[in-house]
Structures are given as C-alpha cells and as structure tokens.
Amino acid sequence: MGNSKSDMVPPEKNQQESEKVQGGAYQRESYESYDEEIDPDFDFPKVVLHCHLDGSFRISTVIDIAKRRGIELVSYDEKELRKYAVWHVQENATLAKFLDHFKYFGPVFKGSRYAIRRLTLEAIEDFHRRGIVYIELRFSPHLLATIGNDPLNEDDPEEKITPEDVLEEVLKANKIAAEKYPSIMVRYLLCGIVAFPQWSQETAELCVKYRNDGVVGMDLAGDPQDPDYHTEMKLHEKAFDYAHDNNVNITIHAGEAEGPSSCEQAIDDFHAARIGHGYHIIEDERIYKRFQNEQHHLECCPISSYRTGSVKKTQNHPLIRFFKDGLNCSISTDDPGIMLTTIFDDYADVKNTMGLSIKNIQQMNLNAARSCFLPDSEKSELISRLELSYAKFNQD
Ligand SMILES: [Zn+2]
C-alpha cells in the first residue's frame, strides 16, 4: 500500500471482459468465494516477508469499526463491500488504480487505538491459521496516526494519536498475539511513504528506538506514477542513510511499477538488502546478472503483481525465471485483505499457472527465512524449523 492522489472511482463493472483481456491469471471465481480452507498441498510452515498490515484487514471488521466510529462506508453490507476490494485483475490495471481502493476501507483504522490493535491481532490470527510461522508486517505509523498528518475527521471526538502511539498499539497487540499464538513470530517494518519525505526521519528514528521491541527494518513505498515521485524519492535518502548507519535493515519497493534501474537505485542509494517485488529486472540483463551474483532478495507477490498491472502474462511470470536462475526470491501476499486472497492463492498460482513444484515453493520459503531481518540466532532457529518440517512433509 502507499499513498494515492487519484479521485474516487467506482469498482469496475465488467469483470468478465477484464478477465478475458488479462487472461490466465489465477483468481477466485468471484468476490463471494473466499473460503478459509487449508489446502493440504500447502499445509507446511510458511514465511512471508512482504505484507502490509493495513492491507490485511477483515472486511467484516471494517464494517464493525465503521459503525462504532460513525465513519461513512460505501456499504455496510459485507457482500456488497467486498465488491470494492481488488478481487480480480482490472482492465489496464495499474498500481495507482490498485492503491485507490484503499479509500473504501483504510479510514476506519486511522487514528483509533482500538482499531489498530484489533487490525493487528486479527491479522496475526488469520496468518497463524494459514500456517505462517514467521511474517514481517509493514505499515506507515504516520498513515494510521491523526497527529503530524491531515486528520481525516477533523471533528473526530476521539483522542488524536501520534505515529509513535500507533506503533505502540501495534506492539501491544503483538504481545497479546504472541501469548495466544506462540507458533507464529511476527516482526515489523516501518514504511516511509515517497509522497511524504517529511515523515521519513521520524520513521527511521522509530525503527532505531523500537529495534528490541519487534521492529526489524524500514521500507519505502509510493506510487511512481505520481509526477513528483522522482524528486520526492531523493528527499528520503538522508533518512535511509541514518537508518543504515544505525544498523536498521532496509527493504525498498522497486521494480514493480518502475523499471529495472529502480532496483539498482534501491541497493546503491537506499542501502536495500531486499527489494519489494523487483519483477522488471528481467528487462535489463546487466542488472539481472547483478541480482543473480549479489543475491539481493526479491520479495515477489504473484497475485498482487497482476492486480497492480506490474506483470501482464502469467505463464512467463518473472518469478519462474528468478527461481530457475537461482536468484534469491520468495513468495508473499502483499495485501491479502484488500485482494480477498490468502497465501494459498499465491501458492496455487505458482504451482498451477507457473508450473513450479511444492518443493520449489518450500525452497523459496527457505530463501525467505535466510533473508529475513531477524537476528542470526533466531534466523537459524527458523531455518532449522522449516528444514525439519519440509523433510517430514515430503516423506509422508
Ligand atoms: Zn508492498
């Protein structure tokens, strides 16, 4: 998720047509079919490195909180509100069009301690149920705050909360979740938002201050179609230098709606150890080879890649080449709440459409574990846990 400046648009009506245009992309049949069945093919421990907390909500919770807080929604009926999610590949899909859909859901979580805690707790509960054992959840504390930001509801009678308050509520919920669901470990990445360079330094400082309380890294997200994007990107460099100098791990959204050079910029100018997405490196052989040699991790999100229009043809998805050429890549969900998906959808796409095997998927989970931002001792434990489980899974 990121910041979008586009106007309100209704969800597209002619889904049949858009499916034909995009063709081949795995997706559920409709916004109504959203089951939580565990797919036995994929019933093994999973690691997810790229997932937005504020894109991981339950639609039913959006409605409930909107009612409690008196926030206007396009519909208070769950089935109806689902239509506004990005549950299929839209015609001429773009990242901006995708991000635009957050306006139907996001405002209910902003500026409420209760809503932020509930969002976090339920997201962890959902990820735990799906067999995820380690996940790095990312969010911008500023986008969920009401101070140091443009309040959405100026006459909101609720207390105004700061970006640090937001982070503290998330970490409080994380503590409760850790007791309730000890088999899943959740860590956090704080996102800078390209359109708001003025937030970046504070975000970097929060990463340093809360490094022993669950924050393991920093991210930068935005919409490259924004005309000011490139100028604004530059304004974030200092904050990322500060983060890097203070040993904060860094991942950057790049090579998604932007070309291959954005991935090199992330590594060279922003100290990124990992790239969020990175699909477009296949367009530049030199940069591709660099990723192959230097093994910077690529956090690939298959379903999201079609719905943001970053990848058009499913059958020759860059992830297939990344994996076969030994690039360091893994599979994540990005924004499961707003896409009405689970990690099972992404895995099903990788297996059924891209033709990779379950063992390949497990290997990518090991890549994710090796490239996660946990300290070394915890990382080794995670890798051993996966190796043991996969050996047993493949024997049975
Ligand atoms: Zn993302």
Strand segments, DSSP code E, in the chain are 46-52, 132-139, 185-193, 215-221, 249-254, 274-277, 297-300, 329-331
- Residue 253: inside a domain, yes or no? yes
pLDDT in tens, 292-328: 999 999 999 999 999 999 998 766 899 999 999 999 9
Report CA(393)–ligand 1 centroid distance (Å).
30
Distance in Å, CA 220 to ligand 1 centroid: 9
Alpha-carbon span 372 to 383, nearest angstrom = 10
Known active-site residue 78 = no
CA–CA gap between residue 9 and residue 363 (Å, rounded): 40
Whether residue 36 lies inside any domain: the answer is no
Rounded to an integer, what is the distance from CA 383 to the centroid of its chain?
A: 22
CA 141 to ligand 1 center in whole angstroms:
15
* Residue 26 in domain: no
**290 C-alpha vs ligand 1 centroid, how far in Å?**
23
Instruction: Classify residue 21: in a domain, yes or no.
Output: no
Instruction: Give the span between the Cα atoms of 180 and 174, in whole angstroms.
Output: 10
Whichever domain contains 97, its CATH number is 3.20.20.140
Q: Please, which residues bridge with residue 4 across strands? A: none
Cα angle: 286, vertex 288, 293; to 5 degrees: 95
Residue 4 within a domain: no
- Look at residue 6 in the predicted model and tell me its pLDDT: 37
Position 267 scores a pLDDT of 98
Distance 29 CA to ligand 1 centre (A): 24
As for how many domains the chain has, the answer is: 1
Q: Which of 168, 202, 256, 264 is catalytic?
A: 256
Q: How far apart are CA 144 and CA 224, in angstroms?
A: 22
Distance 157 CA to ligand 1 centre (A): 32
pLDDT of residue 31: 60
Stated as kind and residue range, the H or E segment containing 5 is none
Q: 183: how many CB neighbours lie within 10 A of its CB?
A: 10
- CA distance linking residue 240 with residue 190, whole number of Å: 12
Task: Tell me how far the alpha carbon of residue 221 lies from the centroid of ligand 1, in angstroms.
Answer: 7
Tens-digit pLDDT profile for the chain (396 aa)?
Answer: 433 333 333 444 434 433 333 445 555 656 655 556 788 899 999 999 999 999 999 999 999 999 998 899 999 999 999 999 888 888 888 998 999 999 999 889 999 999 999 999 999 999 999 999 999 999 999 999 985 444 444 445 557 899 999 999 999 999 999 999 999 999 999 999 999 999 999 999 999 999 999 999 999 999 988 899 999 999 999 999 999 999 999 999 999 999 999 999 999 999 999 999 999 999 999 999 999 999 999 999 999 999 999 998 766 899 999 999 999 999 999 999 999 999 999 999 999 999 999 999 999 999 999 999 999 999 999 999 999 999 999 997
Q: Tell me the CA–centroid distance for residue 64 and ligand 1, in Å.
A: 26
Report the separation in Å between the CA atom of 334 and the middle of ligand 1, taken as the mean of its atom positions: 5
* Predicted pLDDT of residue 36: 65
Distance of alpha carbon 199 from the chain centroid: 20
CA pair distance 219, 221, nearest whole angstrom = 7
* Domain enclosing residue 126, as ranges: 43-395
CA of 275 to the centre of ligand 1 (A): 10
Q: Ligand 1: distance of its center to the CA of 377 in Å? A: 27
Give the pLDDT confidence score for residue 90 in this predicted structure.
83
Give the pLDDT of residue 88.
84
